[in-house]
Amino acid sequence: MSPPAKVNELLAAWGKGDDGALTTLLPLVYDELRQLARRQLRGERNGHTLQPTALVHEAYARLVDQDSVQWQGRTHFFAVAAQTMRRVLVDHARKRHAAKRGGHAIQITLDATLAVADRRDVDVIALDDALNALATLDATQAKLVELRYFSGLGIEETAKVLGISSATVRREWATAKAWLYREMTKL
């Protein structure tokens, strides 16, 4: 069975409530994402600037036969990919940091102060820890951040995946960001 066909089938099965399908699906997605990430990092000499969303989209394009999968399948894929992407990035970062420091030291790099695009490179290890902590307080909120940040789902799509309204997504996103930011900048 070719990968797209297989992934399509697994997505459909999972969508129907077969959690076993997920166990088969995850390694497939993980391997693909890891390969893509590695390739991108090789070509990127400027340090760690993975574009998680770009990777997820590329993985989607490669793994899923987009003509035959239904919309439901697409959101499910991104939901899975979010978890997976998170893990890929954390693993990658752990390996990089292992030799240097314990892992928690820098949270937000110098880029935090760089004005140009006001984008900040986030230390994924710290984010991972903070998300785990948030999950103990509010699992949905942690999931929401995962979907938005690691899979790049838009407000609407996130709302559909989680079965809540767009307004709620916006509100939860804002408060979760504030919480995470504080958590990650704590000394």
Partner 1 sequence: MGHGQGLALSRDDQAVNHEPAARWKRVKALLAVALEKPLPLRAAYLAEACGEDAALRSEVEALLAAHREAGTFLDSVTAGDGQASQLSSGTRLGPYEIVELIGAGGMGQVYRARDARLGREVAIKILPSGGHREQALERFAVEARAVGSISHPNILAVYDVGTYEGGPYLVFELLKGQTLRELLRPEPLPLGKALDLATQLAQALSAAHDKGIVHRDLKPENLFVTSEGRLKILDFGIARLVAEVAPAKPSGTVTGAVIGSVGYMSPEQVRGERVDHRSDLFAFGLILHEMLTGEIAFKRQSTAETGSAILNEEPPRLPESTPPELVRLVRRCLEKKPQDRFQSAHDLAARLATVPSATTARMPFLAELKRRRVFRALVGYAIAAFAALQIIEPIMHGLHWPDAVLSYVVVALASGFPIVAALGWIFDVKAGRIERTLPAAHDLRGLRLALPLAGIGLLAAAPGLVYIFVLRQTPVRAERDRSVAVLPFASLSTAKENEFFAEGVHSELITQLGRMAGLKVIARSSVQQYREGARDLKSIGEALGVSTLVEGSVQRAGTRVRIAAQLVDAVSGRQLWSDRYDRELADSFAIQTEVALEIARQLGAKLTPAEKQLIERAPTRDPEAHELYLRAIYYAERSSSRADSEKARELAAQAIARDPSFALAHAFASILYSLQQFNCASARQHADRAMALQPDLPEAHEALLFIYGYCQVDWAAATQEGLTALRGLPGDAMIRSTVGMAQMRAGDEQAGIVNLRHAFDLDPNKFEVAVRLAIYLLSLGQFEEAEHAIIRLRLLNPDDESTLFLTAALASRRDGDFEPLRKVLSRLPAEVELGPGWWWLLLDVPEDTLTLVASNRGTPLEGRALFEAGAHFTLGHAREAKAAFEVMLREVQSRQKELLASGHARWAHNLLATAYSGLGRTDEALAERRAVDEGAQPPLRRHEQLIFAARDAVFAGQPDVAFTRLDEALSQRRTLTTSYLRASRFFAPLRADPRFAALLAKYETSSVH
Interface with partner 1 by CB under 8 A: which residues? 19, 22-23, 26-27, 30, 44-49, 51-54, 56-58, 83-84, 87, 91, 108-111, 113-122, 132, 135-143, 145, 148-149, 151-157, 171-172, 174-175, 177-182, 185
CB of 73 to partner 1, least distance (A): 15
- CB-wise, 7 or 56, nearer to partner 1? 56
Angle (CA) 58 61 66, round 5°: 155
| Neighbouring-strand partners of residue 108 | 122
Provide the Cα torsion 116, 169, 74, 129; round to 10°. 70
CB of 102 to partner 1, least distance (A): 18
CB of 156 to partner 1, least distance (A): 8
- CB-wise, 72 or 140, nearer to partner 1? 140
Longest Cα separation, the chain? 51
- CB-wise, 97 or 148, nearer to partner 1? 148
84: its two tokens = 């997976």
The amino acid sitting at 107 is Q
- CB-wise, 38 or 119, nearer to partner 1? 119
CA distances from 130 to 109, 162, 179, 186 (A): 16, 21, 9, 11
CB of 16 to partner 1, least distance (A): 15
The amino acid sitting at 39 is R
